[in-house]
Amino acid sequence: MHKCHKTLSFNTLVAQAMRVMLSLDKASMQVIEDNMNNERGDRSGLLLETHDMMFGAFVQQIDEMNANFLKCWTSHINALALPAGKAETISLWYWLRHHFSIASAASLFGPESPLTLDPSLEHDFWVMEDNIGPLFSVPYPSIFLRKAYQARQRVFDALIEYGEQERYKLPGTSRLIQARAELIMGRYGFSKRMFGQAEGSMLFAAIINTVPVQAEIDRCTGVVEGKGKERRRRCVLNVPELRTQCPLFNSAMRETLRITATMNINRFVQEDTLLTNHSTDETFLLKKGSGLAIDANVMHFQQSIWGEDAGVFNARRFMPTIEKSKGDTEGGKAVDMAATFRDEKGKLHSGAFRSFGGGNNVCPGRQFAQTEMQSVVALFVAGFEIETPDGGQYKPPPFESRKMIAGVHKPGRDVEVTVRRREGYADVEWLCEM
Ligand code: HEM
């Protein structure tokens, strides 16, 4: 399916979502729909140009965006469980979601991001996200979905103000948002108001999916003595080393995504298209005008791909070599946790892992998101002891049950944890190095 991007369209669905969810006016929608499936064959038009620009920008500016995120994030971490020796109980999901949303928005939208100027918007954002299905389908949402409609309106108003006050021009705003402003307003003539509203799509893409091994992580940290009498000792986390020095940590993160990030990958069939399953030689005719979805929820839990333990969390599943993936022995025999997920040479292949989609529309924010998630978890692991308030065993919550999943699965209830600074790190202030 990902190879047929000419006839199976992502952009037709994007345009639909922009019309319904972002309430863009008629003139802006006409600009969005122009050549959106490359009918002219020259990749002109707003959707295709922003798509191509973004894929480049995410590669070129990833360090800058991650540094913006980490600056904001470390300020929350450095304020946690103080004074040294004090335990602080937090609702983990709510705490992470709140600070993560604000830091992610700031990393893109800059120092005057709507969520930085008004942190209560974070709540409105999640009310809107919770009602994404009904907001798509219920007629007259201002009457029948009053709360969600008003929450969405407050988010829009803040984004419109962001556009009208030209806050994207401030230093510290990502080049990605500045380049979108140049393209969307400068080249395609959107008003500042419609630009602000359209950026709801970026806010949405950046926030909804990114939520959230000690020895490996400790190898990536170093202590720098604070200068002056009053300065706290400083500890530096080397973020790029998290990617290269921590195979178990990386494997556990990918496994978390396998289980939680199982959204449908949707396409609209522009032309009759034949799809062949090369392992069975079966051929399917997809009829023009129909919708198509890969259900990652089915694919990510298929025993024929992942083995008998497909249904359970297995931190070692994505270890890069067979040797490393061998976990505890079973009846005296070491078991390769990822045996069925390797090619004949023993290398992991990624075809069945669809958390970030694939092909032409593969998620451009995936590296950015993975660095965000890794550094957040790494700072917790490196600097804090975390336990349940009663000291008992941690029980993972069930997933929230919802009919329409827009992004990664959320926990069905929050988890209270008690956070204490780790021995030897009680007084440190954390910094991140890119
Ligand atoms: C864990 C976090 C994330 C997950 C699981 C995720 C997942 C996805 C998926 C499944 C798609 C659709 C791919 C397809 O249909 O083939 C997608 C597209 C997209 N994502 Fe992400 N995403 C994440 C984080 C982010 C972040 C942080 C950003 C931006 C800062 C972002 C920006 C986008 C954009 C702009 C698209 C549309 C791509 C296009 O137009 O071709 N994502 N993402």
Which residue is associated with the tokens 């297995």?
314
Question: Ligand 1 within 6 A of 261 CB?
Answer: yes
Task: Show contacts of 42-49: CB within 8 Å, 24+ apart.
Answer: 46/183, 46/184, 46/188, 47/11, 47/14, 47/15, 48/11, 49/183, 49/187
Decide if 333 is inside a domain: no
Residue 326 within any structural domain of the chain: no
Could you tell me the pTM of the whole model?
0.80
List the structure tokens of 29: 């929608």
Does the beta carbon of 210 lie inside 6 Å of ligand 1?
Answer: yes
What stretch of H or E contains 336? strand 333-336
235 is in an annotated binding site: no
Neighbours of 92 (CB within 10 A): 18
DSSP 360: G
> Ligand 1, residues 356, 367, 410: which to mutate, most atoms within 8 A of Cβ?
356
Distance between alpha carbon 92 and the CA centroid of its chain, in Å?
A: 18
Q: Is the CB of 114 under 6 A from ligand 1?
A: no
CATH number at residue 76: 1.10.630.10
Select from 108, 363, 367, 376 the residue to mutate for testing ligand 1; criterion: most ligand atoms less than 8 Å from CB.
Answer: 363
Asked whether 53 lines ligand 1 (CB < 6 A), one says no
DSSP 182: I
For ligand 1, is residue 273 a contact (CB within 6 Å)? Answer: no
Ligand 1 atom with least separation from CA of 54? 35
417 three-state secondary structure: strand
Which residue range(s) make up the domain with 371? 8-300+353-433
What does the pLDDT profile of the chain (434 residues) look like in tens digits? 777 777 888 899 889 888 888 888 899 999 999 999 999 989 999 999 999 998 888 888 888 888 889 988 899 999 898 887 788 999 988 998 898 899 999 999 999 999 999 999 999 998 988 888 887 778 888 888 899 999 999 999 999 999 999 999 999 999 999 999 999 999 999 999 999 989 988 888 888 776 436 777 777 788 776 666 656 788 899 999 998 888 888 889 999 999 999 888 899 999 999 988 777 888 999 999 999 988 888 889 988 888 888 898 888 888 776 555 555 544 444 555 556 666 666 666 667 888 988 888 889 989 899 999 999 999 998 889 888 888 888 888 888 876 665 678 888 899 899 999 988 888 888 989 88
> Which ligand 1 atom minimizes the distance to the CA of 368?
27
Asked, as a colleague might, if the bond just before 411 is cis with ω within 30 of 0, I would say no
Tell whether 101 is covered by a domain: yes
Distance (Å, whole) CA 121 – CA 157: 10
Evaluate whether residue 344 is within a structural domain. Answer: no
The secondary element (H helix, E strand) that includes residue 325 is: helix 322-325
Query: How many whole angstroms from 336 Cα to the centroid of ligand 1?
Result: 31
Instruction: Report how far ligand 1's centroid is from the alpha carbon of 112 (Å).
Output: 24
Residue 205 Cβ inside 6 Å of ligand 1? The answer reads yes
* 427 close to 383: Cβ distance less than 8 angstroms: no
Pairwise CA distance, residues 141 & 356, whole Å: 31
Pairing of strands 264-269, 291-295: antiparallel
Helix (H, G, I), strand (E, B) or coil at 47: helix
Is residue 320 one of the residues assigned to a domain?
no
Answer yes or no: is 322 within a domain. no
Residue 130 is assigned to a structural domain of this protein: yes
Is residue 262 a part of any domain in this protein? yes
Residue from 152, 22, 173 nearest 181 by CA: 173
Total tally of structural domains belonging to the chain: 1
